[in-house]
Amino acid sequence: MTAVLAILLDSYRALKAQKLFKTVLGLSVVVILGFASFGFNEQGMTFFFGLLDVESEYIYEGSKWAKTLYLGIFSYFIVSIWLGWAATILALISTSSIFPSFLSEGAVELTMSKPVRRTTMFFTKYLGGLMFVFLQVGLFCVGAFLVVGWRIGEWNATIFLAIPLVTLFFSYLFCVNVFFGVMTRSTLVALLFTVLFWFTTFGIRTADDTLSMVQFRTETLVSMSEKSLEAAEDNLKEYQEELVEIRKQGSDSAKEYYESQLKRGELNLEDEQKSLNERRETLGQLKPWGIVLDVIRWPLPETSRTIGLLSRWVEQDNEVSFDEILSGDWGEEGEGSGDRRPREIATERINELEETVPAFQIIGKSLIFELVILIFAWWIFVRRDY
Amino acid sequence: MAATAVISVNDVHKTFKRRVHALRGVSMRVNEGEVFGLLGPNGAGKSTLVKILMTVIKPTRLQGSILGKPVGHKPTLRHVGYLPEHHRFPKHLRAGEVLDYFASLSGVPRKVRRKRVDEMLELVGMQDWKKQRVGEFSKGMQQRIGIAQALMNDPRILMLDEPTDGVDPVGRREIRDLLIRLRDEGRTIFINSHLLSELEMVCNRVAIMVKGQVSMEGTIDDLTSDSRRYEIVVQDDLPPALEESLGTGVTILESDRSRLVLPNADSLQVQPIIDRLRSGGVIIESVQPVRESLEELFMRAVNSTGEDAATPGAVKGKVAKP
C-alpha cells in the first residue's frame, strides 16, 4: 500500500510540476468566468456580468427556459467542447510522457528493482495518469456548480457527474496512449497514435451517423412516396369511376376533362412508382454499408456518447429540452409540429435512437475496449526486459 | 567455518533478441560481509547480470538465490539497495523527495523514512541540498544522491553499478571512504566498475567477466599469488661472473641488467642473494616485493580467453547449447 500511495503521489507531483497542468487550470478558470459572466434578470439575459442586457419573452430570471438554457450551455457546450475536446487534447499532451518517461533508460531500473510487482506499478501509474483529468474536471465542476447555483438559484449536484464521465471518456483514449507508450517508449509516437485513433473513431462515428441520417431520410421519403402512390392510385380510381359515369351521361366537355385527368393521373402514378422504386433501391444500397459501419464501430469506444450522457442526466427533470431552445421551438401549439421535412424527421429519429441506447451499454462496451487494450499494454509491460 | 553466501548464481544465461548472447553460463558467489568487485570490458555482461539479480531483466536460464530466496523473489529486494548505471531521477523531485519516494517503494515506513532521509543526505554530504530539485544537480551530486537512495532501506546487500561514474577525484575518494565504512559495518557490497585501481583498494574478492563468462574469480591475493616476486635494483649492471654465482632462481632482465627478479620468492629466500651481491661489491639501491596489479590481472584474464579485449559487445549468433 505504501508503494501504491508513493507512485500516486509521485504522479501527482509530476503532473503538478508541468506548466501545462497550471495552464489548463488557468484556462478552466477563464471558461468558468466566461460562463459566470452570462446570467438573467427580470427582463431577459445579461452578458459580461450585466454590461449588456438582451430582453427576451421566454428567457428571464426564474423561467423554466433560463434553467434549461444555463444547464444546456454547461453540458452541451462547456463539457462537450471545452472538456471533451480542448482540455482533453491538452491532457493527452501532458500525460503522454508518463509511461515513456517511467520506462526510459536510467529511470526504469530504479523502480523495477524495488519490491513492487510490475502489475501493481502498471495499474497505479495508469491511475496516476487519469488523476490529471480527474483533478482538472473536479476543480472545474466545483466552479461550474457554484456559478450555476448563483445564476439560476439551483444547487444542481448532477453537474458533478461530469467528473466520472469526462474521466471515463479520457480513459478510452489514455489506454491507447499507454499501449503505444509502453510499446514504443516514445512520447511523440504515443501521442500521435492516440490522436490518430481518436480522429479515426470520430470519423467512423460521423460516417455512421451521416449514413443513418441518409438512411432515415430515405426511409421517410419511401414512406412519403408510398403514401403519394396510394393517393395517386385512389385518384386514378376515382377518375376512372367518374369517367364511367360521364360516359353514360354523354357530356363531351366533361368527358374530355376526365380523360385528360385520367391520363395525367396515370403519368403521375408512373412517376410516383418510379420515384418509389429509386428510393427503395437507394435504401437497399445504403443498408449493407450501414451494417459494415456498425460492425466497425461496435468494438470502438463510445467517446461522444459517454460525454453525451451528461446532457441526458443533467437535464432529466426539466420540462423543456435544450434542443427546443436552440431550434427556437418554445413548445407553443401548432409550431414545430406538422409540416416537417424528411431531414428534420430523420434528425429526430436519430436523437430518439440515441436516447434509447442504455448508459450501461455505452459505458460497458467502451470499458471492454479499454480493458482489452490495457491487457495488451500490461502484457508488454510485465514481460519486457529493461 | 565456511562463509554464508548472500548471492549465489549458477549457470546464468541471457539471450536477447537477434541471438545476442549476453551471458553464457555465469556462476559466482558473493559472501556475507565482503566487498565483491565485478570487472570486465564493455559489453562483457556485467550490467545484464546485475539487472537479472535486481529483476529488471528476465534470465533465459538461471539457478540461484539472493539472501536465501530464489532470484526474482520481489519481497527479498526490500533488503537490497541498488544504484544503476546512468540512473535518472524524476527531475521534478527534490533531493529529500527522491530518497523518500524510492524508500517508500522499498516499503520503508514513513517514520523511518523521515529520519533516514536526513541521515543519508548527511552521509553523502548532501544535507544542504535537501530542498533542491535533482534536475539541477551535477553528475557527481546525482551519484551521491543515488548512493543515499540505495542505502535508504538499510540494505543487507548494496549493489552499485559504476558508483564513481562522473564523480571528480575528491568525490571518488569520499565514495571510496564511504564504501570502506560500509564494509566495516559488515554490509555486503557488490560493485560493478571499470575503475580497477579503486576496486583494488576496497574489494575482498573479484570476478572478471569476458564475453558473457566468468574468466576468473577469487580474492585479489589468490588471483595474483602466481605473480608474486621480489625485485632487487642494483646501482650498475651486474657483472657476468657474479650472475652465475646467484643460481637459477634469479632472473636478470636483458633490457635492464641492473634489475634482478626472484619469482615466487619470499623474504627468507632473498637474504642469501643480498649477501652474495654485497660480498661481490654490488651496491643495492632497492629490494621490494612486487605483486601483479589488478589492471595486469584484468588484462591477463581478458587475453587468456582468446577474446580481443578491445572489442566490446556480447557474443552474437549461434552458440553451443550448454
Q: What is the DSSP string of B142-177?
A: HHHHHHHHHHTT--SEEEEESTTTT--HHHHHHHHH
- Highest mean predicted confidence (pLDDT) among A61-75, A173-187, A259-273: A173-187
Q: Contacts of residue B82 in chain A, CB cutoff 8 Å?
A: 109-110, 113
User: B257 vs A123, which has greater pLDDT?
Assistant: A123
Q: Do A13 and B93 touch (CB under 8 A)?
A: yes
Cell numbers for A6, please give them. 508513493
Q: Which helix (H) or strand (E) holds A25?
A: helix A19-36
Judge whether A7 is closer than 8 Å to chain B, CB to CB: yes
Nearest CA in chain B to A17: B92
Q: Please write the tens of the pLDDT for every residue from A40-87.
A: 988 889 998 888 998 888 888 888 888 888 888 888 888 888 888 888
More confident residue, B307 or B116: B116
> Going by DSSP bridges, is the β-strand pair B20-31/B315-316 parallel, antiparallel, or unpaired?
antiparallel
Q: What is the mean pLDDT of residues A124-146?
A: 93
B102 touches chain A (CB under 8 A): yes
Contacts of A110 in chain B (CB under 8 A): 82, 84, 87-89, 102, 149
Q: Does residue A14 belong to the interface with chain B, where contact is any CB pair within 8 Å?
A: yes
- Position A336 scores a pLDDT of 45
In the predicted structure, residue B283 carries a pLDDT above the cut 80: yes
Q: What is the pLDDT of residue A331?
A: 55
CB contact under 8 A, B84 and A117: no
Inter-chain residue contact B74 with A113, CB threshold 8 Å? no
Chain A CB contacts of B102 under 8 Å are 110, 114
Mean of pLDDT values over B82-108: 94
ipTM > 0.95? no
Region B70-74 average pLDDT: 95
Q: Which of A166-180, A204-218, B237-251 has the lowest mean pLDDT?
A: B237-251
Contact A115 B107 (CB under 8 A): yes
How confident is the model at residue B279, as a pLDDT?
Answer: 87
**Angstrom distances, CA of residue A349 to CA of A174, A207, A217:** 33, 17, 9
Supply the pLDDT for residue B250: 85
What confidence category does residue A100 fall into, taking pLDDT thresholds of 50, 70 and 90? very high
Interchain CB contact of B78 with A (< 8 Å): yes
Q: Which tens digit of pLDDT belongs to each residue from B47-64?
A: 999 999 999 999 999 999
- Is B149 within 8 Å of chain A by CB? yes
Q: Report yes or no: A207 and A293 within 8 Å, Cβ to Cβ.
A: yes
Q: Considering only residues B241 and B318, tell me which one the structure prediction assigns the higher pLDDT.
A: B241
Residue of chain B whose alpha carbon sits nearest to that of A14: B92
- Is A112's Cβ below 8 Å from some Cβ in B? yes
How high is the pLDDT of residue A248? 78
Q: Does B258 touch chain A (CB under 8 A)?
A: no
Tell me the per-residue pLDDT of B167-206, one tens digit each, with 9 for 90 and over.
888 888 888 888 888 888 889 999 998 778 778 888 989 9
Which residue has 363531351 as its cell numbers? A252
Is the sign of the CA dihedral B98, B101, B107, B109 positive or negative? positive
B24 touches A: beta carbon within 8 Å: no
Average of per-residue pLDDT values in chain A: 87
- What percent of chain B stands above pLDDT 70? 94
Cβ of B59 under 8 Å from any chain A Cβ? no
- A210 vs A204: CA distance, rounded Å: 10
CA distance B198 to B216: 18
Predicted TM-score (pTM) of this structure: 0.83
Top pLDDT among B321 and B18 is at B18
The answer to whether residue B110 neighbours chain A at the CB level (below 8 Å) is yes
Name which of B47, B56, B67 to mutate to probe chain A: the one with the most chain A Cβ atoms within 10 A of its Cβ: B56
Contacts of A80 (CB under 8 A, 6+ apart): A304, A307, A308, A311
Answer for the pair B191, B82: CB distance below 8 angstroms, yes or no. Answer: no
Report the residue of chain A nearest B101, measured CA to CA: A6
Least confident of A38-42, A327-331, B206-210, B307-311: B307-311
Q: How far apart are the C-alpha atoms of A287 and A280, rounded to whole Å?
A: 11
Of A14, A101, A114, the CB nearest to B102: A114
**Averaged pLDDT, A178-203:** 96
Provide the greatest CA pair distance for chain B: 79
Percent of chain B with pLDDT over 90: 48
Q: Give me the mean pLDDT over the A15-38 stretch.
A: 90
8 Å CB contact of B104 and A3: yes
Instruction: Give the tens place of pLDDT for each residue, A313-343.
Output: 875 555 677 777 776 666 554 444 445 677 7
Residue A340 confidence (pLDDT): 63
Reading the block at residue A374, the C-alpha cell is 490495457
A105 and B86 within 8 Å at the Cβ level: the answer is: yes
Of A22-26, A170-174, A281-285, A322-326, the range with the lowest mean pLDDT is A322-326
pLDDT of residue A380: 97
Using a CB-CB cut-off of 8 Å, the residues of chain A touching B77 are 113-115
C-alpha cell at B286: 632497492
Tell me the C-alpha distance between A192 and A177, whole Å: 9
Distances (CA, A) of A368 to A180, A364, A376, B114: 18, 6, 13, 43
> For residues B96 and B115, what is the distance between their CA atoms, to the nearest angstrom?
11
Report the length, in residues, of chain B: 322
pLDDT at position B311 = 53
Judge residue A250's burial from the number of C-beta atoms within 10 Å of its C-beta, 0-12 exposed, 13-18 middle, 19 or more buried: exposed
